[in-house]
A and B are shown apart, each in its own frame.
Chain A
Amino acid sequence: MASQKRMARELAQCTATPPDGMTVALANDSDIHNWHITLDGPAGTAYAGGKFGIILRLPDDYPFKPPVVTFATRIYHPNVTNDNAGSICLGMLKPDAWKPATKLFAVLAAVRQLLEEPQPDDPLETRIADEYRQDRKEFEKNARAYVLRYAKGPVKFDAAPAAGAGGGKESSGASGGASGSS
């Protein structure tokens, strides 16, 4: 199938030359729909020194539907739900903004970019967004605390239970932790 082929190509591309600070692997070799990505917190940010697990799940009709990207590692970030689901608010992945020409490499790069430049104007966690805007020092302190607490040591991908089911739903169904919906 064409989409399988594209997934394979993209996987090959991303594993061979991943975005900076990322390593890409399959969750298990038989399932090309489920990617496990490790991301080193970008230097110069509050996330530096942390290792973040990211789960990327490709729907069956990828590339016609966007992939679902979630953080498996808890992270203190305006655009990532502050819960176990780790849903990410990424404009290019929204159903009404997705286009098939977007490559997963670009998606992953965008996730990394999000750590370098949080987007407080399009937040999932409004409280953290406000803090980011108004009290950057406090924000960075909290973010570092999260890194120390969650993002040290080997990356665990099972921290986000059933992340494959589509993280967004989790946040509303399981914990209701997402205070903003964007």
Chain B
Amino acid sequence: MASFGSRPRPNLGRGHLDATASREVVFCHNPDCQHEWYRDEHSSLQCPECGGDFTEIIDPSHDPRQVSTPPPLDFSSFAFSPRPRGPASDSDPGEGDIEDHLQPGQRGSMPRRPVRPGAGLSDNNDTFLRFTEMLMSDLGAARLGRRPDLQSQFPPSPGGHDHHYDHDHDHDDFHFSALPRVQQRTVFRSSGPIHVGSASFTITTATGPASQDDPLNFGGLFNNLMNPLLGPNGGDANRQAGAAGAGAADAGAAGAGGGPAAGPLGPMNILHELLFSLINPESRVHGDAVYSQEALDRIITGLMEANPLSNAAPPASQSAIDKLETKHVDIEMLGPEGKAECTICMDELNIGEAVLSLPCKHWFHGECVKLWLKQHNTCPICRAPIGDNDERQRSNARQQPHQQQQPQNAETSAAASLNSPFDPAGPFGAASSFSSAPPRAVRQTQILEDRLNTLRNLADVRQRGPSSGPPPGPRPQSLSRRNSLSPSTPRTYSISEHASLTRVRSPVAETSSDNRDSWVSGRFGSSSSRRRQGSQDRDSRESRDSRDSRDGQSSGHGPLSWLRNLGRGSGHNSERDRRR
């Protein structure tokens, strides 16, 4: 049809092929291509335009192309509306459910959460409130990261809601986001019947006023973010993330919270999937956004297939190839039959021919084996690695980053981007408010490198307590996690970091620091050992919590204590408990 011939982005800004008709339409997920064609026009599923093979046969029920050009969302229409939106107009069915569980008496009476340490689990509605808060906070964060396209529709500070920024300074516990659209959500929430939302944004969107004027390029950030994780498929992953965001917009609030399913946050994903399959089972799939393990698996499988060599041995270095011994075929090498062939090209080898011999004594045509070694550093016959010990270690190190060096990567090059969905410092990394970033990165790189070495040599140290040695494994992780949730100002940031450090080191060490720290330590110190092996998820929650606590008295143990408790149980238990 009309889709042929106009490169490079043939389908941008024009109609799509009709996927609902009887012919199957295939869509190329390469973000620079986005070509689409009728499947019966080509024998293969490879994209005829760009040659990419991350393509999809479009299922009309969730068309990925809608995601790439999402319809404009008319946010303003309800943002200032004083009337509560009923479930019918609400695109989020889960929200309606939550409303149903609120007692009338609670509506309008809870603009802030009461500080009731330890309470909450006993009270169903309370639990629900806190759950909602957590949901909303994640929602805000997810949206921050995932809807770049919407930023432009919400110019910063139109006159109508300037006063909401004032809240930021008037009330400790009102920490409205500087990001306009999040703030709009806040407005909407506080004007609706459920006042939970206001508190939730206290938690997540403390971006700091400096950020509101910064134009954001979240798309690029997500590329950065996914690239270290997925290699060349970062672009695709970015598309997935974008899809998650757009799907979320369709689904409303609950859907957006599920966004992190496409994100890098490990255990958090699982948690969110759980939450959303629970609350909003019908919103499991929106376009390419998935909220179930099965669907996620499918996407991951697709990504892995798009990059099928990710598990294979790394290429041999040129120096290792150069060091290989050249031999000339002699009688002995021919073996009992008196003939030999190069197992790669299957050509016969004659006496006197020059061959390249590997450390495992297998030998091949030089050209043949070099072609292979440039892809994989193993023997084509026995798969023994080539190269001397140094070489092997280096190649091991090259393979290991996938697992071990993750925290380090996160801290250095990809720090900002990896943290971006939750960290205002990420998007605004260059902004003046975050001048402390570079030295921190350098320092932590060194620390982490040391730690990594320790980790490599003494894998068992992982099991020991902090007093018997540096806690190698989880600490970098927890650091980066915590940082990722820190607010953007240097002051608060340092507190958060300090708290996390001292917390891990010793529960009693930081009583001398300022009283906020000691408050934190009082809350968290006793459980430090659990936290050390705890999930990132819990860590990040606590970080959020701790920031919450700094903001004033309003947060209390809030949604976190019960979540933490639940987190310890099995998945099923937590599900059930959350439901209560």
Contact = CB atoms under 8 A, between A and B. Distances in A.
Question: Do A and B belong to a common assembly?
Answer: yes
Interface stretch (B51-59, B480-488, B536-544): B51-59
A64 B344 CA distance: 8
A83 interface: no
| Chain B, interface residues (CB within 8 Å), range | 35 or more
A101 B308 contact: no
B343 interface: yes
| Chain A, interface residues (CB within 8 Å), range | 20 to 34
Interface string A2-33: 11011001100000000000000000000000
A96 interface: yes
Nearest to B343: A101
B87 to A, nearest CB: 31
A125 interface: no
Contact of A165 (B53, B302, B345, B375): B53
Contact of B344 (A6, A168, A169): A6
A170 B45 contact: yes
Contacts of B305: 166, 168-169, 172
Interface string B374-388: 010011110100000
B458 interface: no
B196 to A, nearest CB: 37
Given A6-B344, A101-B343, A166-B305, A173 B380 contact: no
Contacts of A100: 343-344, 368, 372, 380
Contact of A173 (B57, B297, B312, B375): B57
Interface in A22-78: 63-64
Contact of B301 (A64, A99, A172, A174): A172
B6 interface: no
Interface in B346-379: 346-347, 365, 367-368, 371-372, 375, 378-379
B343 to A, nearest CB: 4
A58 B308 CA distance: 15
A91 interface: no
A172 B375 contact: no
Nearest to A175: B57
Interface string B33-68: 000000000111110000001011100000000000
B302 A99 contact: no
A172 B302 contact: yes
A95 B57 contact: no
B57 A64 contact: no
A172 to B, nearest CB: 5
Given A96-B312, A99-B381, A99-B383, A5 B55 contact: no
Contacts of B308: 95
A2 B312 contact: no
A181 interface: yes
Nearest to B379: A99
B284 to A, nearest CB: 13
Given A5-B346, A64-B372, A100-B372, A174 B57 contact: yes
B298 A9 contact: no
A3 B345 contact: yes
A181 to B, nearest CB: 5
A166 B380 contact: no
A172 B300 CA distance: 10
B46 A165 contact: yes
Interface centre among A63, A164, A173, by most chain B C-beta atoms within 10 angstroms, is A173
Interface in B5-51: 42-46
A96 B402 CA distance: 15
B441 interface: no
B430 interface: no
A172 B372 contact: no
B44 A165 contact: yes
A173 B24 CA distance: 12
B57 A99 contact: no
Nearest to A1: B345
Interface string A126-169: 00000000000000000000000000000000000010111011
B502 to A, nearest CB: 43
Contacts of A2: 344-345, 347, 365, 367-368
Contacts of B344: 2, 6, 63, 100-101
Nearest to B24: A174
A173 B302 contact: yes
A166 B381 contact: no
Interface in A84-99: 94-96, 98-99
A169 B302 contact: yes
A95 B46 contact: no
B468 interface: no
A167 to B, nearest CB: 10
A6 B302 contact: no
Interface in B546-580: none
B157 to A, nearest CB: 45
B115 interface: no
Contacts of B42: 162
A147 B524 CA distance: 63
A101 B53 contact: no
B313 interface: yes
Contacts of B383: 99
A10 B346 contact: yes
Given A5-B345, A96-B312, A64 B375 contact: yes
A95 B312 contact: yes
Nearest to A3: B345
B55 A173 contact: yes
29 contacts: A2-B365, A5-B345, A6-B344, A6-B346, A10-B346, A63-B344, A64-B371, A64-B372, A64-B375, A95-B309, A95-B312, A96-B309, A96-B312, A98-B312, A99-B379, A99-B381, A100-B380, A101-B343, A162-B45, A165-B43, A166-B53, A168-B305, A169-B53, A169-B302, A169-B305, A172-B305, A173-B55, A181-B297, A181-B301
Interface of A: 2-3, 5-6, 9-10, 63-64, 94-96, 98-101, 162, 164-166, 168-170, 172-174, 176, 178, 181
Q: Which 8 A-B pairs have CB atoms at the shortest separation, nearest pair first?
A: A165-B44, A96-B311, A2-B345, A100-B380, A101-B381, A101-B343, A165-B45, A96-B312
Given A3-B345, A168-B305, 15 more contacts: A2-B344, A2-B347, A2-B365, A64-B372, A94-B311, A95-B311, A96-B309, A99-B381, A101-B343, A101-B344, A164-B44, A165-B45, A165-B46, A172-B305, A173-B57
